[in-house]
Structure 1
Amino acid sequence: MADQDFRWGVLGCGVIANEMAQALQADGRHLAGVANRTLPKAEAFAERYGVETVYPSFEAMISDPAIDAVYITTPHNTHINYLRQALAAKKHVLCEKAITLNSEELDEALALAEENGVVLMDAMTIFHMPLYRELLRRLDTGEFGEVNVVTLNFGSYKDYDERNRFFNVNLAGGALLDIGVYALSLARLFVPGELVQLKSIMGQAPTGVDERSAIIAQSEEGQLVSATLTLRSKQPKRAMVSCDKCYIEVMEYPRADEAKIVWTETGEVELVQCGERPRALAYEMADLERAVEDPAYGNQLMAWTCDVMDTMTKLRREWRFFYPEEAEIRAALEAEEV
């Protein structure tokens, strides 16, 4: 699966960075470099995982020709600045979700990747897990019939704290970019084309971020999608894909490795198991390495990302919810409405 000569660096030392280092270790590999806002934390991380080089800054890491690709694991609102630097330095980039704040930022990043001849990929686990590849393969054969409805739930209980990134508007907080992106990404896999009709209700936290929402949408071909999101109530991470001949139920769908298929005609229940949940980040990195050799493969994955980002951008603009970094966009849209 993995290219032993491909040298990875990581920006950040949080939960995702730790999982990335562990994923490489499981494949008999090690991170080539790490950079973090605080050097002591990067040094401790490097000692824990046998990272070859600790860089004093992100700029130092991306200027090193020994690094082939970087994984950006910092908060959403920092992504575009790091993407600009990494892509301009001709590094391949795997960027944690949500890959950018909005469609304008994503378009800019994709243009930079094309200009510099490198791969930009979304670290959205759903696009990389083998289970979904297998389900899509069977869907494409016609085995399930047509998809008609996709229903999604994702709820987490977070203690309200205005300083916490989940509720802090200055850290791009809110349910949509943090958990809703998973729901909409799964919907995009099973529903052909962009969601063209969107209806939604959003409830705000005291800080102004989207704390909860209900979303109903329809695709160009008429499939319905519904999603319920909340940061203040525990819900099962449950996806239901309803087709002509069966329904497919996936629990814990962000990193799922099994699904239940219930066949309409007989009521028979089939369990599908594919991939391994703990290898989620290994699949992401393997897909970026594959895309370096096969750009068309990477382009397909990023087409899904673009559609999801377009949907999230439309939703937030209907909600009139903008982050501080979007002040110019907000002013331009409000000027058009006058």
Structure 2
Amino acid sequence: MKKYNWGLIGTGWIAHEMADALNQVNGEIYAVTALNKDRLIKFAADKHIKKYYLTVADMLADPKIDIIYIATPHIFHYDYIKKALNAGKHVLCEKAITVNAKQFDEVQQLAKTKGKILSEGFTLYHMPIFKKVLHEIAANKLGKIKMIQVNFGSLKDFDPQNRFFNKDLAGGALLDIGGYAVAFARLFLAEQPNTTLTTVKFFETGVDEQAGIILKNSRQQLAVISLSMRAKQPKRGLVSGTKGYVEINNYPRATTAEFTYTADAHTEQHNTIVAGNSSQALCYEVADIQRYIENGHDNGQLDLSHDIAHLLDSVRTSWGLEFPS
């Protein structure tokens, strides 16, 4: 496989994790840029990055860079994605990839026009355990899939100034943790939902603090999603069918899946499958993105992100929530 040069935008905590993964997979990182010069210089030194740039424009102008990784607050993603694609770079952007579906549709089309890979940073797409679970489902081990239940609850510090609760930065549970829950649901639904029912509790800053979401598609499959930024919940996903169910805990970086088979609705058989290592989640992601570029396609991942972006829009429209940006 070709050696790819990555350029990072941002030096926050997830950028630290990604830098470690890039060093592990590729042995080096080519470049980084960020707004805070002191943090930028320290980050570059700590992660053994060859170059640092004081502006995004300067980094994008470097012809040696193949892939741009974006790890900034949501509201900056759209602009950076467009600039990176127009500069001829492939892009991996942290979720939420854009703050609304209109922006997503534009960057998806731009990536297609430019012939570049654009991908959203959902680790669950890359964890080996999901390939095994999807194989079991395709083999009809759970029968017809009827119901999906997904939880994700964080207990964020009560700080109205934090980006998690900052409306100007498109904060709130839906775009921060909700994308993961909706991504899990969409992965196991046979088709895109066409019905959305939801209710929300707003935080004092006007962003969504917690919510319940029900999705239904034309095949009558249901997904029930529970989100919170001020109440801890397990990151648990449950996929139920006519022959049993599978439970996946810590699903963003899952390594195990617990199957329960109930073909006659009275007796149960249990099976646990194991695959992958949660500490390697971003390494799997890096390897897959580079493989997508090598192969010239992303195995439908951006199409899933398209569906997720439109579902998030549908939910937020139901709430009447708009961001200043």
TM alignment of 1:92-171, pairs within 5 A: 92-171=90-169
Aligned to 1:274: 275
- Kindly state the Cα deviation for residue 164 of structure 1 after the two structures are TM-superposed: 0.6
Cα separation, 1, equivalents of 2:41 and 2:257: 40
Aligned to 1:172: 170
Counterpart contact for 1:247–1:261, Cα < 8 Å? yes
- Kindly state the Cα deviation for residue 299 of structure 1 after the two structures are TM-superposed: 5.5
- Kindly state the Cα deviation for residue 28 of structure 1 after the two structures are TM-superposed: 5.0
Aligned to 2:72: 74
TM alignment of 1:44-55, pairs within 5 A: 44-55=42-53
Query: Aligned to 1:311, what secondary structure does the other structure show?
Result: helix
Cα separation, 2, equivalents of 1:29 and 1:62: 22
TM-score by length of 1: 0.92
Cα separation, 1, equivalents of 2:172 and 2:258: 31
Cα separation, 2, equivalents of 1:294 and 1:218: 34
Higher mean alpha-carbon deviation, 96-105 vs 278-287, is at 278-287
Cα separation, 2, equivalents of 1:171 and 1:162: 12
Please tell me the residue identity of whatever aligns with 2:273.
V
Counterpart contact for 1:262–1:269, Cα < 8 Å? yes
Query: Aligned to 1:323, what secondary structure does the other structure show?
Result: coil
Cα separation, 2, equivalents of 1:305 and 1:287: 16
Q: Is 1:91–2:105 an aligned residue pair?
A: no
Instruction: Count how many residue pairs are aligned between Structure 1 and Structure 2.
Output: 322
Cα separation, 2, equivalents of 1:76 and 1:121: 15
Q: Residues 54-82 of structure 1, C-alpha deviation per residue, up to 9 Å, x if partnerless? A: 11211111110111001100011110011
Cα separation, 2, equivalents of 1:27 and 1:83: 24
- Kindly state the Cα deviation for residue 184 of structure 1 after the two structures are TM-superposed: 0.5
Cα separation, 1, equivalents of 2:217 and 2:83: 36
Cα separation, 2, equivalents of 1:24 and 1:147: 37
Query: Aligned to 1:9, what secondary structure does the other structure show?
Result: strand
- Kindly state the Cα deviation for residue 228 of structure 1 after the two structures are TM-superposed: 0.8
Q: Residues 59-107 of structure 1, C-alpha deviation per residue, up to 9 Å, x if partnerless? A: 1111101110011000111100111110110100000000000110001
Cα separation, 2, equivalents of 1:143 and 1:29: 41
- Kindly state the Cα deviation for residue 207 of structure 1 after the two structures are TM-superposed: 0.8
- Kindly state the Cα deviation for residue 25 of structure 1 after the two structures are TM-superposed: 2.4
Please tell me the residue identity of whatever aligns with 1:318.
S
Q: Residues 215-266 of structure 1, C-alpha deviation per residue, up to 9 Å, x if partnerless? A: 1111221111101111111111111111122211111111111111111144
- Kindly state the Cα deviation for residue 109 of structure 1 after the two structures are TM-superposed: 0.7
Counterpart contact for 1:152–1:239, Cα < 8 Å? yes
- Kindly state the Cα deviation for residue 289 of structure 1 after the two structures are TM-superposed: 1.4
Counterpart contact for 2:22–2:286, Cα < 8 Å? no
Counterpart contact for 1:4–1:29, Cα < 8 Å? no
Cα separation, 2, equivalents of 1:176 and 1:28: 33
- Kindly state the Cα deviation for residue 4 of structure 1 after the two structures are TM-superposed: 5.7
TM alignment of 1:46-65, pairs within 5 A: 46-65=44-63
Aligned to 2:228: 230
Cα separation, 1, equivalents of 2:105 and 2:148: 27
Cα separation, 2, equivalents of 1:19 and 1:105: 27
TM alignment of 1:240-259, pairs within 5 A: 240-259=238-257
Q: How much is the aligned-residue C-alpha RMSD, in angstroms? A: 1.3
- Which of 8, 11, 18 aligns to 2:9? It is 11
Aligned to 2:306: 306
Cα separation, 1, equivalents of 2:59 and 2:262: 54
Cα separation, 2, equivalents of 1:13 and 1:234: 27
Aligned to 1:191: 189
Aligned to 1:317: 317
Cα separation, 2, equivalents of 1:308 and 1:47: 37
Q: Residues 258-313 of structure 1, C-alpha deviation per residue, up to 9 Å, x if partnerless? A: 111111144222111111111111222222212213334x1501111111111000
Q: Which structure 1 residue ranges, 5 or more long, are not aligned?
A: 326-338
Counterpart contact for 2:21–2:286, Cα < 8 Å? no
Counterpart contact for 1:94–1:285, Cα < 8 Å? no
Q: Name the % identity.
A: 38
Q: Is 1:286–2:284 an aligned residue pair?
A: no
Please tell me the residue identity of whatever aligns with 2:303.
A
